[in-house]
């Protein structure tokens, strides 16, 4: 058996990629459609849902709202 030495940062990046791969693999195996359109077309409701999580900065929420308004899917 050979020993391989990695920097902690490299190890964390590899671990994160592995977790992402496992997550996508699980979604695909469960046959969830990750590329389908969002069920809600109301931009205000979407932004409010993101705000309620308290996980996103106001800068991100403004950027999200701007992007949604530019999207042809949300233009009615």
Token representation of residue 5: 């030495």
pTM: 0.52
Of 7-11, 18-22, 36-40, 55-59, the one with minimum mean pLDDT is: 36-40
Residue count (the chain): 76
Candidates 72, 73, 68, 70; CA nearest to 49 is 68
Give me the sign of the Cα torsion angle 41, 43, 49, 54. positive
d(CA 25, CA 21): 6
Q: pLDDT tens for residues 48-71?
A: 999 999 999 999 999 999 999 998
Q: What is the pLDDT of residue 76?
A: 56
């Amino acid at each position: 058996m050979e020993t391989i030495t990695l920097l902690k940062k490299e190890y964390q990046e590899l671990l994160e990629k592995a977790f992402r791969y496992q997550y996508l693999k699980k979604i695909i195996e469960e046959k969830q459609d990750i590329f389908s359109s969002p069920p809600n077309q109301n931009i205000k409701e979407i932004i409010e849902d993101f705000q309620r999580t308290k996980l996103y900065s106001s800068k991100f929420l403004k950027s999200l709202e701007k992007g949604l308004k530019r999207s042809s899917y949300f233009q009615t």
